[in-house]
Amino acid sequence: MKDLHSPLPLSMAATNLNSASIFFLTFSLLFMVMGHEASNSGQYPVVVSTWPFLEAVRAAWRVVDNGFSAVDAVVEGCSACEELRCDGTVGPGGSPDENGETTIDALVMDGVTMEVGAVAAMRYIKDGIKAARLVMQYTEHTLLVGEQASAFAISMGLPDSCGPYHAKDFLGSSHGTCSKTTLMENIKSRSSHVGRHNHDTISMAVFDKMGNIAVGTSTNGATFKIPGRVGDGPIAGSSAYADDEVGACGATGDGDIMMRFLPCYQVVESMRLGMEPNLAAKDAISRIARKFPDFVGAVFAINKKGVHAGACHGWTFQYSVRSPEMDNVKVYTVVP
């Protein structure tokens, strides 16, 4: 009796196909097999982050190395940085505005689907990156801002917290403050110069084991900014950008300047056209510097092959990487 589940011989299956069709079918099958092998070639996963935020990179690595998605890992890594309040410029309690209040900007982008979720000028909620993911998962929108971003995050189950900002950390006062306190009269002459410890962002890119990519950012913005100011942190293409076919970019620095140039979008598009990551990163930074010679900022770039590089202007920049051939996170230093 003939086994109805056994495959037909290739000669019988191709009886009604011409030679060109047979060649195309064979090539397509070979391509699919090669593609599957490439996705498990050992070059993934990879985690890259601005600055030596080692614990954030380790948190992302643990997630992605256990087989979870790039988006899962990015959220976990940036969330760790928010919890640790990296450099005082990520998470609650740092970089207050002129009224002494901390607000959060965050973004997550899936490089496979090109979906983006972001929040800006969000008060009361300390989990910026988780709120951004909720926007991406449960709405048709890209960016929610201000009080309504907070209301959405609370409605989705994130805890309501004004954040542990204490005036003594910045102004020498022993009084704590929450969202309504005004400290304007206590702020004397203070430098607005952009630097790592008063104006910074974690921007992270992750390739998962299947080679899928995602990026995320979180920041509490510039210290003593005008209330309501939003920088480049929640802007796709400025603070971060990813395209599964090409690679990713992350940025940090003077977001008010950098967001006018969308440097990460430019980096990814330059790599799409064949430019190596180091040249793509340098080109994006140099375009900004030609118009604003005094700006301070940096980008990292990573392509689909896992080749990465950084470029900076106005400061020395460091970015962190973890990949399969490494036993721990490695920090790379880039000079202007």
Looking up tokens 């790379």 gives: 332
DSSP state of 87: G
201 flagged as catalytic: yes
Cα distances (Å, whole numbers) of residue 193 to 23, 184, 224 = 63, 19, 11
Q: How far apart are CA 333 and CA 323, in angstroms?
A: 17
**76 — alpha (psi -120 to 50), left (phi > 0) or beta?**
alpha
Q: How far apart are CA 176 and CA 162, in angstroms?
A: 11
Q: How far apart are CA 52 and CA 333, in angstroms?
A: 10
Q: Please identify which of the residues 50, 89, 102, 201 carries the catalytic annotation.
A: 201
Q: Which is nearest to 103 in space by CA: 91, 113, 116, 118?
A: 91
H/E segment holding residue 170: helix 168-171
**134 — alpha (psi -120 to 50), left (phi > 0) or beta?**
alpha
For residues 129-151, one letter each, b for 16 or more C-beta atoms within 10 angstroms of the residue's C-beta and e for the rest, the string is bbbbbbbbeeeeebbbbeeebbe
DSSP state of 93: T
3-state SS assignment for residue 102: coil
Task: State the catalytic residues.
Answer: 201
